[in-house]
Structure 1
Amino acid sequence: MLICAASNNAGKLKELRRILERMGHEVKSLRELGIALDPEETGTTFAENARIKAEAFCKASGLPTVADDSGLCVDALHGAPGVYSARYAGHHGDDAANNAKLLREMADVPAEQRTARFVSAVCFLLPDGRELLVEGECPGSVAFTETGTNGFGYDPLFIPDRVGLPDGTTIENTARRSYAELADGEKDAISHRGRAMEKLDAQLPAFLEQA
């Protein structure tokens, strides 16, 4: 299936493309489709924002569209930055500023209270308006310093509880490596987006048959 990957975030697009192509789909980016939109994310939940983006880009592309909205929810910060993850420091997409603010906010929080989870809501939308919405989570904690370069956003600060193995199983992250220190396969097997996309993959055949 030819799918529009609805993201202006280069790192997120890379992950969506990698996972969707592994599922056997052909993926077109917004740039490849000549679409220059930046819909306002006015939702109060990840699911609402994923739907907003899916609707805007599906209408613009005329293709089945996958849109993701995701973020980091930190327990010590009562779930923040949450849906405001991309603009936590005030400017959308400033990873360095967002990470710096998170570290400041967490400066006095001890290790045992730094629990957090990454959440992803993925909306698959057909041009006729029918949608399939799935969510995935990855539990972990917030590190005291940034480590790793193979990631984006809060990846250098997020320590997942588990990491993936080549056979698809997972093991405890005893080395406490950050998302940004994991190879693509290690991350996809346990990541919030990877888990959401696994659900999408499992539910999509029945959804398309009904549609």
Structure 2
Amino acid sequence: MIRIVFATNNANKVTEMQAAIGGSLEVISLKAAGIDIDIPEPHDTLEANASEKSRTIHRLTGENCFSEDTGLEIDALNGEPGVKSARYAGEDKAFDKNIDKVLSKMGDTPDRSARFRTVISLIWKGEEHLFEGICKGRILAARQGSGGFGYDPVFIPEGGDRSFAEMSIAEKNRFSHRRKAADKLVLFLQNQTTTV
């Protein structure tokens, strides 16, 4: 089985990505790869932050690797929190505070439309490839559900009737932005591994 390093230590993301990729590749977290660093995300686009992370890991390991950056983009907030989604309410990355800030800033705005956008940067045999996944939906007025992570309790995907936090991973993967980007990544990797 081909091993690929995922530039994250977020166990939820690793589980979600492994579920999306399936059994064709083994997804390894930074910790499992023996890397203990916090890679900065200084850029103002998801693409640039994803590239920063994958290039850093590739420099350190020389292995095939990928990273992703995901943002919640809310129309009524002019695309906020966007690239600052994890640190929206401060550097401690406290998602309860982030959700509180979103709900507070939105107030009773009737336009609740939003989208999650994931950009994956893959470095495969030394070359970078970018893949994007988008999930449109809307922001709830209050939290619903206790599963998932991040903004999941306040986001309902288009075509769904429950928040991401009320869904199993399998249900969430039917809509997931991360899954859509991962599907493009997997398709690319399948083509690479079958032509070798």
Fold-level similarity (TM above 0.5):
yes
| Aligned residue type for 2:120 | V
TM, length-normalised to structure 1 = 0.86
CA shift, 1:39, in A, is: 1.5
TM, length-normalised to structure 2 = 0.92
Residue 13 of structure 1 corresponds to 14
RMSD of aligned residue pairs (Cα, Å): 1.7
- Separation (CA, whole Å) in 2 of partners of 1:69 and 1:206: 24
| Structure 1 residue runs without a partner (length 5+) | 163-172
CA shift, 1:24, in A, is: 1.1
CA shift, 1:92, in A, is: 4.1
Change in Cα spacing, 1:116 to 1:51, as seen in structure 2 (3 Å) is: same
| Aligned residue type for 2:61 | S
**1:73–1:80 CA contact under 8 A, matched in 2:** yes
Corresponding pairs, count: 195
Q: Please give the residue correspondences for 1:1-211 in structure 2 after superposition, counting only pairs within 5 Å.
A: 1-20=2-21, 22-110=22-110, 113-126=111-124, 128-162=125-159, 173=160, 176-207=161-192
- Separation (CA, whole Å) in 1 of partners of 2:46 and 2:192: 21
CA shift, 1:148, in A, is: 1.2
- Separation (CA, whole Å) in 2 of partners of 1:197 and 1:23: 13
- Separation (CA, whole Å) in 1 of partners of 2:27 and 2:116: 24
Over the matched positions of the two proteins, sequence identity in percent amounts to 39
- Separation (CA, whole Å) in 2 of partners of 1:193 and 1:54: 16
Deviations 1:34-55 (A, max 9, x none): 2111121122211111111111
- Separation (CA, whole Å) in 2 of partners of 1:36 and 1:82: 26
| Structure 2 residue runs without a partner (length 5+) | none
**1:132–1:207 CA contact under 8 A, matched in 2:** no
